[in-house]
Structure 1
């Protein structure tokens, strides 16, 4: 179980919405398809002929719109966001999401404030068990939902939990030794964040082979810009264990985090990993948001 570290609270980190995905997890090609369609015509999702233009069913149109908004590649009015343009635009970092780094950035973007996927936020940031069953998540989620003083149908958060596990869990093999179909059709399985064995699930903690150090450090700097405003340091325990931190979102260990910072610091003089009286800190001499963008630009253009 993760320790809990007291942090400066992020204002309004979650919008308590549930089951807006129409039971569909994000599928290969959906985010690019939705982004491009919205870029050409922000009203596309409300048109009667949207299923024809997008090549999917009516419920899937609503799901694509939801996921594009939840991942913050389009805004509430269906216009491309700055992040969406940088990642998926015609000259974007990775327009067709061929690099797993982009999936990690999208995973981060889904959970960052304001998160439009409350059950996802709960499971990755509030729920602290490392090994669990679906029932464990549902029990904890019921308690979490009470914080919002909203009457949420149990069927809604059951749909969310099922969607999360399809989206992230590396599935067991079925009888004929072929993977479950849903797991093949979700790119976020590639992240390997959750293992599934029998009735149990387990977070994979520590290094991830396809998670670049640049993404780890860039998200640390973005997080620091939210919770360490005006300061040029943030301590490693906060980056590991605080709600909404890269350590929680990516399920990192201290060694993984510190090694990532040390590696990136060799390329960027503005980044320093310091140890003062036993307190390990990330220090930065540039504005953290700008520095984070520089790191990502260098990564994608190298």
Structure 2
């Protein structure tokens, strides 16, 4: 069974209001409405291929599960009547949540591969289309997975960078290109220079990230751990730390802030073995974190 997944977006990166519109439509009329183009096109106000793309992104962000059911986080963000946390994605904390979800779900595998694996053995933070595609092709071979065409991977790459990087284009395309919810996080930049092959060069922006809410960081950590009660520093750095493009100083700062804000998180450094331990977490602790962040009473 393949563990990596590519394509499905019909060459469209996720637009700002697609997630909210898609979840509300499913809530009102059921998931099968998305498989009835004549209705979904009218309800969502998009073309047929964009309807298929919306389905893809709802799954990629973990907002619906394998059975096409609306997830708990979707209910809290977009539904719940007047108590919806952030239906229009106006809070930056929500964008960090979405960034965590799309990397963690691995439904659109290029996101996880680029953020958490590609740079593990790299000195530079720059990358190009060819470098990423060659890396993914090797990953597919190493995993003994079914071959994926270069055209498919090229399409995935273009959608991936459009999700994050401000393009150097004319004003006539500005509305289309600047409408990705993840652009605001400034995780990837398009550089002005090209490499020796004439390709556009991009850069991962590893930073301290003082704008990353500590409550959202705590929620993501608990969600990642599931029922586990500890995580090594290295695993945290190579997963959530990488999803959020945190520098080492940035991750250290967040861990210190996490443990000082929430006593349930304890940092241990014994004989050079660094880990974060979780103690005394109640069943509804994770939910309460989000409610406190979004000030839901």
* TM-score, shorter chain, exceeding 0.5: yes
Look up the match of 1:58.
48
Matched, 1:118 2:109: yes
Would you say the 8 A contact 1:258–1:273 is kept in 2? no
Change (3 A) 1:289 1:26: farther
SS in 2 for 1:208: coil
CA drift of 1:263 comes to: 2.2
User: Which residue number corresponds to residue 71 of structure 1?
Assistant: 61
Aligned to 2:158: 162
How far off its partner does 1:119 sit?
1.7
**Which of structures 1 and 2 has the larger relative contact order (alpha carbons within 8 angstroms, sep 6+)?**
1
Would the aligned equivalents of 2:166 and 2:178 in 1 still touch at CA under 8 Å?
no
Alpha-carbon offset, residue 188 of structure 1: 0.9
What is the aligned partner in structure 1 of residue 195 from structure 2? none
Q: 3-state SS of the aligned residue for 1:168?
A: coil
Alpha-carbon contact 2:264-2:281 (below 8 Å) kept: no
Partner of 1:8: none
Query: Which 5+ residue runs of structure 2 have no aligned equivalent?
Result: 193-199
**Aligned match for 1:281, one of 263, 275, 279:** 275
Residue 139 of structure 1 corresponds to which residue in structure 2? 134
Please, what TM-score do these two structures have when normalized by structure 1? 0.84
**Rounded Cα–Cα distance in structure 2 between residues aligned with 1:59 and 1:195:** 28
Q: CA RMSD in A?
A: 2.4
Aligned residue for 2:70?
80
Q: Tell me whether 1:200 sits opposite 2:201 in the alignment.
A: yes
SS of 2:15's equivalent in the other structure is coil
CA distance in 1, matches of 2:3, 2:44: 28
Paired residue for 1:108?
100
Structure 2: how far apart are the matches of 1:95 and 1:78?
19
Distance 1:219 1:193 in 2: 18
Deviation at 1:19, TM superposition (A): 1.2
Shift of 1:289: 7.6
1:237: which partner in 2?
234
1:183, distance to aligned residue in structure 2 (A): 2.9
Contact 1:225 1:289 in 2 (8 A): no
Q: Structure 2 length as normaliser, TM-score?
A: 0.85
| Equivalent position of 1:99 in the other structure | 91
* Counterpart Cα distance in 2 of 1:21 and 1:269: 42
Q: In 1, Cα distance between the equivalents of 2:282 and 2:274?
A: 18
Q: Which runs of 5+ in 1 are unaligned?
A: 1-11
For 2:88 and 2:41, the matched residues in 1 are separated by 21
Moved more, 253-262 or 24-33: 253-262
- Report whether the alignment pairs 1:191 with 2:185: yes
Question: Does the Cα contact within 8 Å between 1:218 and 1:291 map onto a contact in 2?
Answer: no
What's the counterpart of residue 196 of structure 2?
Answer: none
SS of structure 2 residue aligned to 1:56: coil
